[in-house]
Amino acid sequence: MKTYSLLAIILLCFCLHAEDGSQLWLRYEGNANAQITANVKNSKTVDIALSELTQYWKGAPVLLEKKRTKTTDEGFTIVSDKKNNSLKIVASTDIALLYGAYHLLRLQQTGQVTENLNISQTPKYQYRILNHWDNLDGSIERGYAGRSLWEWEKLPNEISPRYEQYARANASIGINATVLNNVNANPKILTQEYLQKVKVLADIFRPYGLKVFLSVNFASPKTLGGLPDADPLNPEVAKWWKAKAKEIYALIPDFGGFLVKANSEGQSGPQDYGRSHVDGANMLADVLKPFGGIVMWRAFVYAPSSDDRAKQAYLEFMPFDGKFRDNVIIQVKNGPIDFQPREPVSALFGAMQKTPVMVEFQITQEYLGFSNHLVYLSPLFEECLQTDTYAKGQTSTVAKTTDGSLFGHRISAIAGVANTGSDVNWCGHDFAQANWYAFGRLAWNYELTSEQIADEWIKQTFNDKKEFLEPVKGLMLSSREAVVDYMMPLGLHHIFAMGHHYGPEPWCYFPNMRQDWLPPYYHKADSEGVGFDRSKTGSNAVAQYFPPLNEKYGNIEQCPEEFLLWFHHVAWDYKLKNGRTLWDELCYSYDNGVKEVRDFQKIWDRMENYVDAERFELVQTKLQIQARDAMWWKDACLLYFQSFSQLPIPYDIERPVHKLDQLQKIKLSISNHENAILETINR
Ligand code: GCW
């Protein structure tokens, strides 16, 4: 028996070929030679579907049937035709046939093909978009997987094979739009020279159903067009944009539209000319309307003077509800601050009812350990989408307030800030691929659970051996809670190092700097306690939520403990539900976070025989960094907050391995963060 299992392991190891992670979840085995036909005149899209299935589908013959159906343009049906021992994928558009083909292959890869298939799917959101914060010089703002995928210097002549691979990966999970450039937009993207490059990408993406959008700099008519201003009510400005739109659509007839970050973090906008967000957004919407384009206008605005940054997007945008054109959608970050490991949802969801609102998630891990930490983000996305806003009775989840169903909006969208880059494995960390995957799958169908998505991702990306699947799934599903524990438990937030946001710096303070960029503004630690009072006695941000959420969040006794310090300034000796004091619970939470990551290491090391050496080692090394970082976070935060609480760290907890003053000396430069961390921590 022993020899047998040893042999099996050797054989398994032998079969696992050397690999670099570049294939993502698309690891179909070739030469299937299936019998695939289509009743439709071939288009590039249908050809892709035919070719994917012919090569990789190992089941009964498949007919791709295009006909008018009840499902939306992108919906499809897969049905078994038992009589003829065949299958049909039925849809009303070519792209939906391709989505059906990828779904069939997913069923095959995940062992879900049954004799009697009868599946109907239709996406929940109309636009399922990646936002790339890629700059024209090839760098990526908050990107942790190398340089930009877009080789602007080489375009339009040299074409990287990755462009098509990127489109294919997105199509396989139903992502149908991409914003190519950073919201901190360089006006140059709108020059004829760059538009020619954009056109080449759009042409490659089109057969995969991927629509191209651009982020635009609101000052473009001035900086690029030479006009004296960019005032949205200046007819010359509108004329400039009209001509620009005409130029774009001449090159890219199905161009999606503009994404705009205006009057936020130093970007120009309509307020520079005494105009409002409505004036700015509507001017651009009118320009795009004849071509069928839309404007995604971001609500990420906050002024340095405010008493509470968390309230600002709501205060700024609520008065404009219903005043935007019907091709404008307001893009709102999932939480009121900025992509923290945990935030309550933005109060704008459910509150803005007359204007469509879309969620913006961050797939790239700006505040979650970059591409060093294994954090499966699906539970974060799911938590937000399934949060009930109580806007209209009991079932007003964020998902329903944004998918067009609850308020009857014509357009609906969801965006994720991409984590892709030039790294061979696309995302830096092999497990970060799961976050791209999960975003796509949830955008298609937010009723899928994080567990289901992890299950299918692991089976496709690694293997379906129970001994691998179950522990790794468990690891993934607890990873988000772990990062919350070792970075910012109980609702603490924004205690990250200045600028690059890697590692803890709760002490970071400069009297002359914008206070809302500094951690003490958020944690407000003092000798009494810690946390931001957003209840009635404080900033009253809770009032922006519908009842009963406002009551629940505003009342310290009822407030969910994961948001306690988000909404309340809490005494160090305040008793939590489990009987511990706040101080002790903070200590145990940080300690628990460290333990969880140490457990992840133990789990992963046991997986060595089930995974190729390359990916095994990369993940192992990254888990080592994560474990050291978790200890760094724990020691930094506990030792710092202890200087206020003056209380002992419970004696059954592992003692700090750093000194506070040493940790306070760590200054990472963003470009060399990985090495710097290793050096300082190993010192
Ligand atoms: O999360 C913050 C980031 C900025 C980013 C900004 C935004 C693109 O720190 O890098 O800028 O939000 O979303 O506009």
Residues 303/313, Cβ–Cβ less than 8 Å = no
Q: Is 183 in the pocket of ligand 1 (CB under 6 A)?
A: yes
Alpha carbon distance 474, 162 (integer Å): 32
Same structural domain for residues 507 and 391? no
Alpha carbon distance 421, 143 (integer Å): 7
Region of 389 on the Ramachandran plot (φ > 0 left; ψ -120 to 50 alpha; else beta): alpha
The CATH number of whichever domain residue 418 belongs to comes to: 3.20.20.80
Same structural domain for residues 511 and 407? no
Catalytic residue among 65, 308, 366, 383, which? Answer: 366
Q: How confident is the model at residue 4 (pLDDT cuts 50, 70, 90)?
A: very low
Residue 261 alpha carbon, nearest atom of ligand 1: 14
The first and second tokens of residue 215, run together, are 């982020």
Catalytic status, residue 141? no
Q: How confident is the model over 240-294, as pLDDT tens digits?
A: 999 999 999 999 999 999 999 999 999 999 999 999 999 999 999 999 999 999 9
Asked whether the predicted pLDDT for residue 651 surpasses 70, the reply is: yes
Residue 133 alpha carbon, nearest atom of ligand 1: 8
The first and second tokens of residue 518, run together, are 């500094």
> Is 547 inside a domain boundary?
no
Q: How confident is the model over 134-184, as pLDDT tens digits?
A: 999 999 999 999 999 999 999 999 999 999 999 999 999 999 999 999 999
Neighbouring-strand partners of residue 178:
130, 212
> Residue 375's closest CA among 593, 182, 166?
593
pLDDT of 2: 44
Same structural domain for residues 53 and 146? no
The first and second tokens of residue 239, run together, are 């004329």
Between helix 433-444 and helix 378-385 the angle, nearest 10°, is 30
Same structural domain for residues 361 and 287? yes
Cα 446 versus chain centre, distance: 14
Asked whether the predicted pLDDT for residue 1 surpasses 80, the reply is: no
> Is 560 inside a domain boundary?
no
> Is 475 inside a domain boundary?
no
> Is 629 inside a domain boundary?
yes
pLDDT of 34: 87
> Residue 497's closest CA among 522, 524, 518?
518
> Is 517 inside a domain boundary?
yes
The CATH number of whichever domain residue 92 belongs to comes to: 3.30.379.10
Same structural domain for residues 193 and 257? yes
Q: Is 390 in the pocket of ligand 1 (CB under 6 A)?
A: no
Catalytic status, residue 614? no
Same structural domain for residues 400 and 516? no
Q: How confident is the model at residue 10 (pLDDT cuts 50, 70, 90)?
A: very low
Same structural domain for residues 523 and 414? no
> Is 424 inside a domain boundary?
yes
Q: Which domain holds residue 601?
A: 484-532+569-663
Same structural domain for residues 254 and 337? yes
The residue to mutate among 131, 132, 141, having the most atoms of ligand 1 within 8 angstroms of its beta carbon, is 141
Same structural domain for residues 99 and 231? no
pLDDT of 70: 76
Mean confidence (pLDDT) of the chain: 95
Q: Is 28 in the pocket of ligand 1 (CB under 6 A)?
A: no
Same structural domain for residues 104 and 152? no
Same structural domain for residues 71 and 151? no
Catalytic status, residue 158? no
Query: For the chain, how many structural domains are there in total?
Result: 3
pLDDT of 5: 52
> Is 498 inside a domain boundary?
yes
Q: How confident is the model at residue 14 (pLDDT cuts 50, 70, 90)?
A: very low
Asked whether the predicted pLDDT for residue 17 surpasses 70, the reply is: no
pLDDT of 394: 66
Catalytic residue among 65, 308, 338, 430, which? Answer: 338
Alpha carbon distance 354, 325 (integer Å): 11
Distance 492 CA to ligand 1 centre (A): 20
Asked whether the predicted pLDDT for residue 8 surpasses 90, the reply is: no
Same structural domain for residues 358 and 410? yes
**Higher pLDDT pick, 12 / 210:** 210
**Which of the residue ranges 5-14, 264-273, 449-458 would you say has the lowest mean pLDDT?**
5-14
Catalytic residue among 153, 193, 265, 551, which? Answer: 265
The CATH number of whichever domain residue 528 belongs to comes to: 3.90.1330.10
Q: Is 261 in the pocket of ligand 1 (CB under 6 A)?
A: yes
Distance 358 CA to ligand 1 centre (A): 17
Boundary (domain end) residue, out of 121, 152, 167: 121
Across 406-432, average pLDDT: 98
Q: Is 367 in the pocket of ligand 1 (CB under 6 A)?
A: no
**Which of the residue ranges 210-224, 316-330, 660-674 would you say has the lowest mean pLDDT?**
660-674
Boundary (domain end) residue, out of 67, 100, 121: 121
Boundary (domain end) residue, out of 428, 447, 466: 447
Q: How confident is the model over 469-528, as pLDDT tens digits?
A: 999 999 999 999 999 999 999 999 999 999 999 999 999 999 989 899 999 999 999 999
> Is 15 inside a domain boundary?
no
Q: Is 142 in the pocket of ligand 1 (CB under 6 A)?
A: yes
